[in-house]
Amino acid sequence: MIAIIDYNAGNLTSVARALSHIGYESVITHDINELLHAERIIFPGVGAAGSAMDSLRRQGLDTVILDAFQSGKPILGICLGTQIIMNYSEENHTPCLGIVEGITRAFQSGLASDDGTILKIPHMGWNQVELLRPHPVLSEVCTTDEFYFVHGYYPDPKNPDHILGLTNYGVTFASIVGYRNIIATQFHLEKSGRPGLKILENFCKWQPC
């Protein structure tokens, strides 16, 4: 069973519907026992880092995620679930999970596109991802594919080897992060059409070394 972590964040049911569409059962849960016995964990969400981390700690889910990572269980982060695997988020000045060493940074005002147009923050809409290295979860994904983003913050891993994909929105940022048995996307897989569903499907089959 695939467990989707319920930590009072938005967009969880959209991920469950996407999994059902590609033929995989899932459960949205904050039950620690269910999470411990799940074959793999998805950690999606929209919202603020501060309230998300408060909810995780209050329910003991931060420890569950860390234990799952240490056990080698496949974990997928999406959007907010990508940002709070870093050490710290500039949003709400929040200490986070620290699975991947790095900081989640805010987009600065005044960012401009190549033609000088001032870009809106948060970043909302479709954008391409430059894939830096192969990964089983990214199989059959092309750099011409576009993915759907909604975010005002982005992950900035300290180790460049943990960056699997880059996107430019006035600044070049890590849009796919991978380390051992965790992979995380800043874009919304469940809203990204065929390429997003392909990544979800690949994750459901992934057996990390």
Strand ranges, E, within the chain: 2-5, 26-29, 40-43, 75-78, 88-89, 94-95, 102-106, 123-128, 130-131, 146-151, 153-157, 163-168, 172-179, 182-185
Q: What is the C-alpha separation between 125 and 167, in angstroms, rounded? A: 12
- Beta-carbon count within 10 A of 100 CB: 25
Active site residue 96: no
Largest separation between any pair of C-alpha atoms in the chain: 53
Which residues, in sequence order, are CB contacts of 192 under 8 Å at separation 6+?
146, 147, 148, 199
CA distances from 143 to 20, 40, 132, 173 (A): 26, 27, 10, 15
Active site residue 146: no
Q: Answer yes or no: are the C-beta atoms of 184 and 76 closer than 8 Å.
A: yes
Single out the catalytic residue among 91, 96, 151, 190: 190
Single out the catalytic residue among 79, 123, 151, 201: 79
Single out the catalytic residue among 123, 151, 162, 188: 188
Active site residue 188: yes
Residues assigned a catalytic role: 79, 188, 190
